[in-house]
Structure 1
């Protein structure tokens, strides 16, 4: 007789754990549509901008100065001339070329507002390392889009030149969660020095329900690591399956161990990553993490196309995540990121189906009987898919352990190494020896950057100290001296 009540308590505790980990409440009453690649995302974005009547808010890591970027800027400029409040927040580093080339000039001349996130500042030496990596579009209070796609020709490809489009995933959201996404944008916009009238940011309750999907809007910042906590929780709670797609996989040891423990406990853990990447060094580092995953029974696949840029997860056919966060330290701890965590069986099952479809164009990485990391042949891939066996394979040898882990293993002897790790270790050794020779022959080459960095840090600290002292002198009422005198006067 106590079972139903116990189940209710478990549900409440589970929702509390997810809410606290993500730093976001569960918002019900939404309609969600999964959009695949630029061929589905870009037309939906353009239609939403066309239909906007009050405002368009765009937060984007990369807006390229190419035919795709100019197409969106021209559309936004036209809406601004029609009286729609258009706000564009781009990342200073990600859209560096667009800032230099005056890509946004037609938009600002039409009355739109454009701001750069986190440009270099004298008073914040290391903040420049943090990026606004979000991909968000909100039109009025009607519709919002969250994705891994930026705006540029890479996502569309160029058939005339034989360039395939990048594989990526986004979602269209209608319903009360649009208010949460607007608030997330408003916070980032204010951090960049802007302001939005409160009348354009509605309360969640003022937006009618448009469906039955419940989701969380997770707007992470460099100080929160919200999604990292949630990813660890999902890895711990998954019971049947956890399927991950990631563009720049360089997970922390803690998350790697969470995945390994899940696999050891019988969870079907799969990871899909690029084989060829726009950042080749990241692909190389990703491959160095394969071996510990494979040894735990995790299945690793490499995308056979030009680039898979999606950042998605789906667990147990009931929970899914889509957004901008990669499974690496920079995304989890250093950037402004935006994801939605969807608790809906229909959406999750659609994500599972798309994941399986992606695996048809991927090559599985397996362990040979000699514990080498190798590419599986088509015949062996089929066998592995059916039997989940770690079998021998034909193909090229890929990298094994984490690059830092491989170096530590070589120096400390904490685990055996094999030939698959030779190239990674050779790279480490060559780089370190080259740096040592450079420092010996030209010490100023090493010393000069260190001097610049130390001077910048010192100048930053001094500038902030002067600013604090000046503020203390000019503040009245609730200044530091006022607080001290009130404390002294209170019994």
Structure 2
């Protein structure tokens, strides 16, 4: 009897803490917890692509598809055929792709074929003269929703490299996605609608669902993290998870470049006894010169007890996390500032014991094909056992994956910038692993200095052109804003963000709020 009373007392005492945890998660992510959903874990293209195509072919009303890269290859043609066929049957089919993602991957004839087939196609954020740096913010999301009844969120783009090249003995890229049903589908659709409205007219309101219009499909609680860019909702949530994790925190990331504060959060968890693991792509593939750059960021993690693993397959492109066997995340966001603060991303945070267990089992399976990185007795970062180099055909396949190479190159450039900046400002303790980066950075700066002395026009002319471009664009934007305000067409919110700064419970990060969100129920569970 005493034990029963004690357990009841502990449950009662923990209720306020759980409510506070739910509130903290909602505020940090800018995303309310949505109840009553079902979820299905999808591994690699062999499970994701067939599910996507089946959903498209079953559509009766609408298809909303957004993706960073849709390649003009055999896989891309399969999706084009399915989308066109559905549009010709009378369904409203909308496709949103990213300008930069399609720049070298997709021909103009591909988009014309879709348009001629009845598909509404829009390109996200192409360069414009009056916004010199606007192109930096990309549509990096990968989502599909059909008939407001099922939605898919993942890290997969559309291309043959995700399916592999069996005839050349090149394995598929490793990636993860989910299929969801229930009220949370409304949030995914609303997220798509906001990005769609950035490029042209909005989707009619009567086509957009709210959570109440979609029936309950299960018992899974989740949040859709998909607001406008530069809100840092996922960044705050990831740090909160790292702080609250008590037993495990297992991360998979394609282009990890953690900020100082996030690295400290991971270090703090590991030093407090949490089993923190990070699985990243191997550095022995198409860009060998990135090996020291990639591993330079491992040292502070390894020293604190974080376990780091490098994938031995063709390319690890998944972006996932699982903590304490009860909280998990799947989506498009990498653990770097480009995803956290720049791009339009879409992720789903799931609070469910069963799904988290699935994620843990999948993670352990992935580690079977990974090499652990450790610190040697000489305090050097190196693999436990160097994996066998992939065959030539395998390396060729990796090289053909331009998006993977470019992504790793970008991540490497960010890490170089962080390291050089740290050395100049003396704000971080740098180790031997950063020496090569500092050497490269110092040499590059010295070359620029010599060029400026010997051939100053090589430095001055590009700078003058860029400064002139920026100046003209600012003047043009100021004129347009003044003209619009004079005509009474400008509100206090920037035109491209009207109605989007208030979060509504049904749609989370892409919903305009018609009424304040209801409070979370008192029996809601806490996070990890």
TM-score with structure 1 length normalisation? 0.88
The CA distance in 1 between the partners of 2:427 and 2:247, in whole Å, is 32
- Which one of 305, 311, 324 corresponds to residue 303 of structure 1? 311
Output one character per residue of 1:337-382: Cα deviation in whole Å (capped at 9) or x when no partner: 0000000011111101111110111110001122111110289xxx
1:90 is paired with a residue whose SS is: strand
The CA distance in 1 between the partners of 2:454 and 2:420, in whole Å, is 25
Q: How does 1:171-210 map to 2 (within 5 A)?
A: 171-210=178-217
Residue in structure 2 matched with residue 354 of structure 1 by the alignment: 362
Structure 2 stretches of 5 or more lacking a match? 1-7, 388-411, 493-528
The CA distance in 2 between the partners of 1:363 and 1:40, in whole Å, is 25
Residue in structure 2 matched with residue 218 of structure 1 by the alignment: 225
Residue in structure 2 matched with residue 388 of structure 1 by the alignment: none
The CA distance in 2 between the partners of 1:96 and 1:186, in whole Å, is 23
Q: 1:298 Cα shift?
A: 0.4
> Structure 1 residues 69-78 or 403-412, which shifts more?
403-412
Output one character per residue of 1:234-268: Cα deviation in whole Å (capped at 9) or x when no partner: 01100001000000011111100110011111110
Output one character per residue of 1:47-96: Cα deviation in whole Å (capped at 9) or x when no partner: 00010110000010001111111221121011111101000010011112
Output the aligned Cα RMSD: 2.5
- Which one of 103, 126, 144 corresponds to residue 96 of structure 1? 103
Cα distance change, pair 123–266 in 1 and its aligned pair in 2 (3 A): same
The CA distance in 1 between the partners of 2:119 and 2:246, in whole Å, is 48
1:163 aligns with 2:176: no
- Which one of 413, 430, 439 corresponds to residue 426 of structure 1? 439
- Which one of 462, 466, 491 corresponds to residue 449 of structure 1? 462
1:274 aligns with 2:287: no
Output one character per residue of 1:93-152: Cα deviation in whole Å (capped at 9) or x when no partner: 111245643212122112210001111122222211110000000011121100000001
Question: In the alignment, is the contact (CA less than 8 A) between 2:67 and 2:97 conserved in 1?
Answer: yes
- Which one of 5, 17, 22 corresponds to residue 10 of structure 1? 17
The CA distance in 2 between the partners of 1:232 and 1:468, in whole Å, is 37
Cα distance change, pair 105–284 in 1 and its aligned pair in 2 (3 A): farther
TM-score with structure 2 length normalisation? 0.82
1:94 is paired with a residue whose SS is: helix
Q: 1:433 Cα shift?
A: 2.3
Cα distance change, pair 325–417 in 1 and its aligned pair in 2 (3 A): closer
1:366 aligns with 2:379: no
The CA distance in 2 between the partners of 1:184 and 1:280, in whole Å, is 38
The CA distance in 1 between the partners of 2:293 and 2:433, in whole Å, is 13
- Which one of 294, 305, 320 corresponds to residue 312 of structure 1? 320
The CA distance in 2 between the partners of 1:324 and 1:209, in whole Å, is 26
- Which one of 114, 117, 139 corresponds to residue 110 of structure 1? 117
Q: 1:199 Cα shift?
A: 2.4
1:320 is paired with a residue whose SS is: strand
Cα distance change, pair 216–282 in 1 and its aligned pair in 2 (3 A): farther
Residue in structure 1 matched with residue 257 of structure 2 by the alignment: 250
Residue in structure 2 matched with residue 124 of structure 1 by the alignment: 131
1:337 is paired with a residue whose SS is: coil
Structure 1 stretches of 5 or more lacking a match? 380-398, 480-491
Residue in structure 2 matched with residue 334 of structure 1 by the alignment: 342
Question: In the alignment, is the contact (CA less than 8 A) between 1:235 and 1:242 conserved in 2?
Answer: yes
More contact order relative to length (CA 8 Å, sep ≥ 6)? 2
1:64 is paired with a residue whose SS is: coil
The CA distance in 1 between the partners of 2:221 and 2:260, in whole Å, is 31
Q: How does 1:370-381 map to 2 (within 5 A)?
A: 370-377=378-385
The CA distance in 2 between the partners of 1:221 and 1:285, in whole Å, is 31
Q: 1:440 Cα shift?
A: 2.7
The CA distance in 2 between the partners of 1:346 and 1:367, in whole Å, is 35
> Structure 1 residues 120-129 or 420-429, which shifts more?
420-429
The CA distance in 1 between the partners of 2:292 and 2:144, in whole Å, is 32
The CA distance in 2 between the partners of 1:454 and 1:266, in whole Å, is 51
1:102 is paired with a residue whose SS is: helix
- Which one of 485, 488, 494 corresponds to residue 472 of structure 1? 485
1:341 is paired with a residue whose SS is: strand
1:243 is paired with a residue whose SS is: strand
- Which one of 139, 153, 157 corresponds to residue 150 of structure 1? 157
